Amino acid sequence: MAEKSDIEEVLDALNITPPPATSAGLHAVTNALRHVYGKMGVVRGTRGMLKLNQKGGIDCQSCAWPDPEHRTLNEFCENGAKALSDEATRAHIGREFFASHSVAELKQRSDFWLNKQGRLTEPLILREGSTHYEPVTWEDAISLIAGKLKSLASPDEAVFYTSGRTSNEAAFLYQLFVRRFGTNNLPDCSNMCHESTSVALAESIGLGKATIRLEDFEETDLVIVIGQNPGTNAPRMLSSLAAAKKAGAKMIAINPLPEVGLTSFVDPNPQHGNPFSVLGFRPAKLADLHLPVRIGGDMAVLKGLMKALLEREREEPGSVFDREFIESKTLGYDEFIASLDAVSWAEITAGSGLIREQIEKAARMIMRARSFVTCWAMGVTQHTAAVATIQDIVNLHLLRGSIGRPGAGLCPVRGHSNVQGDRTMGIWERMNPVFRENLEREFAFKTPERDGLNTVESIAAMRDGRAKVFFAMGGNFVAASPDTEAVSGALENCDLTVQVITKLNRTALTPGRTSLLLPCLGRSEIDMQASGEQFVSTESTMLNVQMSKGIFEPASEHLRSETWIVCRLAEATLGNDIGIDWRDFSENYDLIRDAIERVVPGFDNYNERIRVPGGFYLPNPPRDGTFPNAAGRALFTAHPLEYIEAPPGRLLMTTIRSHDQFNTTIYGLDDRYRGIDGGRRVVFMNERDIAEHGLEDGQKVDITSYWDDGERHVKGFTIVKYVIPAGCTAAYFPEANPLVPLGSHARRSFTPTSKCIVVSIEKSEEN
């Protein structure tokens, strides 16, 4: 009997139970240990956990949540443990594996199965017309890439992508090499996640990053969490939320889904106060109010909150708005208030899917809060009007003067461990003028004038043959990007695709005419160079820069560090007579940090300060009450209300992550926080919608999305009856990514609109 494909196995194994009442707790501990001991063994696993997120230890490869000044013994969460064990797994694959598995056969396997195969152990090449990857030497691989780059008609025919795992040191040299080569084509994963935040905040307050630190959670009166599911995507944030609650703060959760990580938390860390808390006797109640907003309704909620504040302010001037702050620190107030007056409550309730009383209740909580913090993530950034929505978050804070003082401020929560650091190091298709000037002075060359291609533009350029080489520093481009069919075709249309990765993934199986896989060191591995053992550094979502040092012997003697790979490629492509000593940089990372100190503002005495346990914070002017944007003041911005209405018979879909997933890395097939066991092709639907569409809970369905350029389809999903607003549905990415076209992205930031897709759900043709 034919071996069942992974998909068939999964569909048969799917088991649905009610979501749990609390998050984390003992189950998080047992799950973390299962992954760590199962993949690393007890001794290596224990060593790894004792070093994870410790000062001078291994900075977690997963999300960008910061580490507290006082580190506990287990300074990691369940998903941090999964990320560590996923990288430090004992499972390895090399030439034998690839000799026995063709690319075509591997393509049939699920992302979970591919990831489970383990670490790549040597460089591999898929030659044009070949069916199997085969080993190649580093020398041959590097010279092949260099030869191809030098043969291009223009440097702009190459695209250099970066995922958020890349260290500061490697990222800085990578952008230097790419710009010295002659292009700004530096798309990165931030383009697909918080680019809307960067654009919005840079304009409104002059800094596209968080303005708070961890300690602000214990000083605030209120935390608003909007468009974010921290229980899965930044789990240690729950400890900060619990600490805020313990200190007397209130919490509002604005999310279509009643995520358990927003409502109840059992802190598994015995050093966070109660050694028996893990047993779940007294779970911490998180959200005091959950607003189940409809998909795409965040802007309407924010305008409703501000309208309620305005109405109260007009009843008693000066009782709600921080007049002194508004007059001394902001611009645009009058125009903004006029735009608020222009929005009616009827529009607000229609757009938000909430009743006025719910919004007014939240507004009263904001009025009672002298200081408040707002946290957000993809649920806000991946919409057409995301930039405007984020600026409404800023508007809300400016009305109350809740920024630039203890317990008050903005907290966009970045999803990848060094995605923010990479941007700070210059990984951006557009150059910051100060960075450009410093880089040109430091390395005595003229940087490319023309802005480069962002992620969406890069895919179009590869599709159209305008870009012929795709080089990726980490990541899983084809799975992370929208419009899977278009991005697959774009990659396959390239002459050469190159990935610097640690494990086999979907992108490796979507090769250009020639494809190279270059296996690099993981963050948990010892990085030995000519001048001795090296360490790297990263930047957390709260601007804390700290070192990360590996402790394990590399998975294979053939692995190379990201920095080594960039330097060898730069030497081979640009030569050594251009005044940049790539070899020195690759042998001693202190030299890289010296150069960063001279080019990137805020990195004074970098080598000295990075060696201080816990590292240092970058300057954060809005945190200190100054706003380094063009106006030199915080800006109120007036935007008309926007929300999407699905035509009759159709629904709004948002894409989400499961609890067994980090970005596109699938650790397992369970989503314990939503009661899903053993499967990923599920679609969460409202009970009434299921009935109104003549469907049944548990039924197999196909999903269709509708765009100007036609329809898109995904098949074989199972309906899961779920608590979600009527008219709204949800499904996991990357499985649902084929439904989002390349052309559907946020205005101004080009972030794909993966959080709001108009779909129809039909009985599966297979039934």
Residues that bind ligand SF4 (CB under 6 A): 53, 60, 62-63, 65, 76-77, 79-80, 234-236
Given the complex with ligand SF4, which of 19 and 235 has the nearer CB atom? Answer: 235
Nearest to 724 by CA among 335, 381, 256: 256
Nearer to ligand SF4, 235 or 668 (CB): 235
Our CA dihedral for 688, 689, 694, 700, rounded to 10 degrees, sits at -120
- Of 36, 38, 39, the C-alpha closest to 49 is 36
Question: With respect to ligand SF4, which residue has the nearer C-beta, 663 or 749?
Answer: 663
Q: Which is nearer to ligand SF4, 155 or 412 (CB)?
A: 412
Kindly tell me which of 217 and 333 has the beta carbon lying closer to ligand SF4.
Answer: 217
Shortest Å distance, C-beta 234 to ligand SF4: 5
- Cα–Cα distances (Å) from 739 to 157, 296, 506, in that order, read 28, 17, 17
Which is nearer to ligand SF4, 56 or 135 (by Cβ)? 56
Q: Which is nearer to ligand SF4, 56 or 489 (CB)?
A: 56
Tokens read off for 722: 């779920």
Q: How far is the CB of 46 from ligand SF4 (least distance, A)?
A: 16
Biggest alpha carbon–alpha carbon distance for the chain: 77
Residue number with CB closer to ligand SF4 (506 or 523): 523
CA distance linking residue 503 with residue 521, whole number of Å: 11
Closest CA to 161 of 414, 478, 383, 447: 478
3-state SS string for 413-472: CCCCCCHHHHHHCCCCCCCCHHHHHHHHHHHCCCCCCCCCCCHHHHHHHHHCCCCCEEEE
Smallest distance from the beta carbon of 264 to ligand SF4, in angstroms?
18
3-class DSSP state for residue 372? strand
Nearest distance, CB of residue 55 and ligand SF4, angstroms: 14
Taking the complex as a whole, the smallest distance from the CB of residue 679 to ligand SF4 amounts, in Å, to 23
Contacts of 81 by beta carbon, 8 Å cutoff, 6+ apart: 32, 33, 35, 36, 49, 52
Minimum separation from the CB atom of position 82 to ligand SF4 (A): 8
Identity of the residue, 81 or 646, whose beta carbon is nearer to ligand SF4 in the bound complex: 81
The least distance separating ligand SF4 from the CB of residue 81, rounded to whole angstroms, comes to 8
- The first and second tokens of residue 509, run together, are 């199986």
The least CB distance from residue 31 to ligand SF4, in Å, is 13
Rg (CA), the chain: 25
- CB of 60 or CB of 214, closer to ligand SF4: 60
Give the chain's end-to-end CA distance (angstroms, integer).
Answer: 22
CA distance 737 to 731: 10
Cβ 438 vs Cβ 464: under 8 Å:
no
Q: How far is the CB of 263 from ligand SF4 (least distance, A)?
A: 18
Among the listed residues 640, 748, 762, the one whose alpha carbon sits nearest the alpha carbon of residue 694: 762
Q: From the CB of 84, what's the least distance to ligand SF4, in Å?
A: 8
Nearer to ligand SF4 among residue 230 and residue 407 (C-beta): 230
* Closest to 534 in 3D by CA, of 546, 520, 548: 548
Least Å from the CB of residue 15 to ligand SF4: 26
Spell out the alpha helix ranges (H) of 470-526: 477-480, 484-492
Cβ at position 70, least distance to ligand SF4 in Å = 15
Closer residue to ligand SF4, CB minimum distance, 236 or 674: 236
> With respect to ligand SF4, which residue has the nearer C-beta, 414 or 463?
414
Pairing of strands 676-677, 15-16: antiparallel
Shortest Å distance, C-beta 276 to ligand SF4: 22
Tell me how far, at minimum, the Cβ of 238 lies from ligand SF4, in Å.
Answer: 9
With b for 16 or more beta-carbon neighbours within 10 A and e for fewer, the 25-45 pattern comes to bebbbebbbebbbebbbeebb
CA distances from residue 329 to 410, 412, 430, 626 in whole angstroms, order as listed:
16, 22, 29, 8
Report how far residue 435's alpha carbon sits from residue 427's, in angstroms, rounded to the nearest whole number.
11
Q: Is-contact 741 482, C-beta < 8 A? A: yes
The single residue listed with the structure tokens 């030995």 is: 528
Which residue, 62 or 510, has its beta carbon nearer to ligand SF4?
62
Nearest-5° angle of CA 597, CA 167, CA 186? 90
74 or 744: whose CB is closer to ligand SF4? Answer: 74
Q: Which residue is nearest to ligand SF4 (CB)?
A: 80
- Considering the complex, state which of residue 422 and residue 483 has its C-beta at the smaller distance from ligand SF4: 422
405 and 149 Cβ atoms separated by less than 8 Å: no
DSSP 132-171: S-EE--HHHHHHHHHHHHHHSSSGGGEEEEE-TTS-HHHH
Our measurement of the distance from residue 296's CA atom to the centroid of its chain's CA atoms, rounded to an integer in Å, reads 19
25 backbone φψ class: left, alpha, beta (φ>0; ψ -120 to 50): left
Q: Residue 345, class by beta-carbon neighbours within 10 Å (0-12 exposed, 13-18 middle, 19+ buried)?
A: middle
Q: How far is the CB of 419 from ligand SF4 (least distance, A)?
A: 12
Smallest distance, ligand SF4 to C-beta of residue 270, A: 16
Q: How far is the CB of 551 from ligand SF4 (least distance, A)?
A: 16
Q: Find out whether 232 and 673 touch, Cβ atoms under 8 Å.
A: yes
Choose between 643 and 662: whose C-beta lies nearer to ligand SF4.
Answer: 662
Closest CA to 556 of 505, 497, 503: 503
Shortest spacing between CB 347 and ligand SF4, in angstroms:
38
Backbone angles phi, psi at 185, to 5 degrees: -70, 75
CB nearer ligand SF4, residue 497 or residue 538: 538
